[in-house]
Structure 1
C-alpha cells in the first residue's frame, strides 16, 4: 500500500507540473534522432544535456538514474550498430556530467528545505504577531488582508489587531515608520501592548497613552543595546524619530456607533448604503511615541455605525500603490463603485485585485487592511 501510494503521489506531481517530464522527454527525442540519423551525426553526444537539465528539476536519485540510463543507452547503441569510435568519450562525458548534476541537485534540495523551514518560521511569526481575528463578534463580521512587500516575507511594519473586550470590539491598525526587522520588532511591541491594555483601559485615549508608553520603552531599550544606532544603516534613527501611525477603534456591544482615534494615520472609510464617507479626524492626535515630543493629547471621535454599514481601515500602502504612469490608487473613487452591503472578505478581495491591476502585479509596499461589517438583523 505504501509503495502504491508513493507511486500515486509521484504520478500526481507529474500531472500537476508537466515541466518535470522535460528531461525524460528530451532523452527520448535525442535517442530517436540518434537511431534515425546516419552515423556521421553523433546525436548520442547530446545525451549529456538530459542529466544536467534534470538537476534543476529532479531529486538526486532520479538524476543519477537518468544519467545511468543515458550511459547504458550509448553502450547499447554502439553494440547494436557497431559505432565504437566515440563510445568512451561520450560515456565518460555523461558520467562526469551526471555526477556534477547529482551534486547540484543535492545542493538545490538543501536550499529548498531551508527555504521551507524559513517559510514555516515566517508563518508562525505571522500567526503570533497578527493573531487571527474572530470572523464574527455578535452582529459584526470581520476580514483582514495583509501583504508584505519584502520577498518571501509574511510580516512587515504594518500591523492590525482586534479584541472582544468588556467595552466592545476594539480595533487597531497601524504602520511603523521604517521597514525590515526593526519595524517588525516595533510592531510586535505595539501589538503585545494592545492585547493587554485593550481589556484593561476604559477609554481609547488611555489605550493610546499605554501604547505610546510601551513603544517608547521598547525603542529606548533597543537604543541602550545599540549605542551606535544613529550611525548605522538602519531604517530608524533616534528614539524621537521612531513612531507609528495608527487608528484605534471601538464598536460597543450595542453596535450603534463607532468611536475612533486617529494617530496621524490615513482616515478610515465608512460605507453607508451607496455613500462612502472618509472619517477625517476633526482634531489632531499624535502618532504613537510622539505624544510627549509634540505635546499633544489624544482625542476620540464618534460616527454612526448601524446595520448594513462597513468600516474599512487600511495603511498607506493602499493609497500609495502606483500605476506604471505614476498615478496613485484612487481609493475613494474605487470605493464608490462597490455594491452596498458587500461582505468584508469580498470587499478586501476586490480591493486586492484592484491594487494588482493598478500596480501591474507588483506591489512594492506593505499593505494591511481590516474590514468590519454590521450585519443587518433578519426578520
Structure 2
C-alpha cells in the first residue's frame, strides 16, 4: 500500500496547494517505489493509478493538452522500467531462497541439532555465522553420547568460506566416528590429527577443545590450541581451564612435536562447562574493548543452559552493536543429575535422538 499512499499524498498536496502541473512528474515515484515492494502486476496497477490521477489533476487545473501529453508517456516509461526491475528482483529472490534452503540443509548435515537433554546432562548451543546469508561458517561443534560417556568438540577452522566449511565437515566426521570407537579421549584426538595431516595444506589448522565425561564422574579435556573452556561451579563461580602444557592446533602437531595432554577435573551435579570460539571473546564494542565472557556468564548463569546462553548471546550482540564480525559458537553443558549404575540404555536412547 505504500506506493498507493505516495500517489495519494502527491495528489492531495497538488489539490491543496493548487500548484498545478509542477507536481505531476512526482507521480512517477509511485511505480518506482512499487518495484521494490510489489510484483510486476502491482507495479502496473500503481502506474495506471498514477496516470489516471495525473490526467484528473491536469483536467482539474485546466492545463494545456501538451503538458499532460508529456507527463503520461513519462509515467508509462517509468512504469515499464519498474515492472522489469520488479520481475528481476523477484527472480533473484527465488534464487536466493533456493540457495538459503541448500545452506540450511548443509548446516543441519554439518552441525547436527543437539538435544536439550542427553543422559544426566542439559545442553544448549548458540551459533552465529558472521555472514548471516551463508548460515554456516568455519566454527564447528558436536556432542555425541558414546559407550564411554558423553563426548563433545568445539573448534575453529583457520580461514573462511567453502574451504573452511569443508575442513569443518572433515573434523566433525572423524570425531563422530572416533568418539564411538576409541575408549581413550587422546586417541580420538590422534585420529582427527592423522586425518587432517593427510588432507590439509601446510598452512591450514584447526583449534579445538575435545571434552568427555566418563563414568568415573570426572571431566576430561584435551585443548589443542583453543581458547580455554570455562567451568561454572554449582555455586556460580566461573574459572577458566588453563592448560599447563598447551598443545598445538590440530594439523600442526608434526611442526611442534608436542602431544596434547589430557586434563581431568571433578564435575559434580550442578557444575557446567562452557566451550566457545574466539568469535565470542574477540568481539569488540565501539571503543575496541573485548567482550568479557567470564563476567557475562557469571551475571547470567542459571540452572537452565538455554536461558543462560540466550542472555549471554543477547548481551554479546549488544556489545558489538547488533552484528558479529566473526563466526561465534557457544556450547554449554550442565550436569543436572548424578549417573546411576546400569544407566547405559539411556545413553543409547540419547544417541538415537541425535
Same fold, TM exceeding 0.5? yes
8 Å Cα contact 1:148-1:365 kept in structure 2:
yes
Q: Could you tell me which runs of 5 or more consecutive residues in structure 1 were left unpaired when the two chains were aligned.
A: 1-20, 220-238
Q: Which residue among 68, 74, 94 is the counterpart of 1:113?
A: 94
Measured in 1, the distance between the counterparts of 2:259 and 2:58 equals 89
Kindly state the Cα deviation for residue 268 of structure 1 after the two structures are TM-superposed: 0.7
Measured in 1, the distance between the counterparts of 2:147 and 2:334 equals 20
Measured in 2, the distance between the counterparts of 1:102 and 1:261 equals 59
Is 1:213 the equivalent of 2:194? yes
Instruction: Flag the structure with more relative contact order, 1 or 2, with Cα contacts below 8 A and sequence separation at least 6.
Output: 2
Q: State the superposition RMSD in angstroms.
A: 1.9
Measured in 1, the distance between the counterparts of 2:335 and 2:132 equals 35
| 1:140-193 Cα deviation digits (max 9, x unpaired) | 011111111124121111100111111111100111112222111111110111
Is 1:55 the equivalent of 2:35? yes
Kindly state the Cα deviation for residue 42 of structure 1 after the two structures are TM-superposed: 4.1
Q: Could you tell which deviates more after superposition, 164-173 or 117-126? A: 117-126
Q: Which residue among 58, 76, 89 is the counterpart of 1:95?
A: 76
8 Å Cα contact 1:322-1:358 kept in structure 2:
yes
Kindly state the Cα deviation for residue 77 of structure 1 after the two structures are TM-superposed: 4.3
Measured in 2, the distance between the counterparts of 1:332 and 1:87 equals 69
Q: Which residue of 2 aligns with 1:246?
A: 208
Is 1:181 the equivalent of 2:162? yes
8 Å Cα contact 2:225-2:248 kept in structure 1:
yes
Q: Which residue of 2 aligns with 1:18?
A: none
Is 1:156 the equivalent of 2:137? yes
Distance 1:45 1:337, change over 3 A: closer
Q: Which residue of 1 aligns with 2:225?
A: 264
| 1:302-357 Cα deviation digits (max 9, x unpaired) | 11111111110011111111122222222223333334x43111111121122122
State how many pairs are aligned: 336
Q: Which residue of 1 aligns with 2:171?
A: 190
Kindly state the Cα deviation for residue 93 of structure 1 after the two structures are TM-superposed: 0.9
Q: Could you tell which deviates more after superposition, 288-297 or 183-192? A: 288-297
Kindly state the Cα deviation for residue 41 of structure 1 after the two structures are TM-superposed: 4.3
Q: Output aligned runs, 1:9-158, within 5 Å.
A: 21-38=1-18, 40-78=20-58, 82-83=62-63, 84-158=65-139
Q: Output aligned runs, 1:345-360, within 5 Å.
A: 345-360=306-321
Please state whether the residue corresponding to 2:131 is helix, strand or coil. coil
Q: Could you tell me which runs of 5 or more consecutive residues in structure 2 were left unpaired when the two chains were aligned.
A: 339-354
8 Å Cα contact 2:297-2:308 kept in structure 1:
no
Measured in 2, the distance between the counterparts of 1:274 and 1:142 equals 17
Q: Which residue among 315, 318, 329 is the counterpart of 2:277?
A: 315
TM-score by length of 2: 0.89
Measured in 1, the distance between the counterparts of 2:315 and 2:19 equals 60
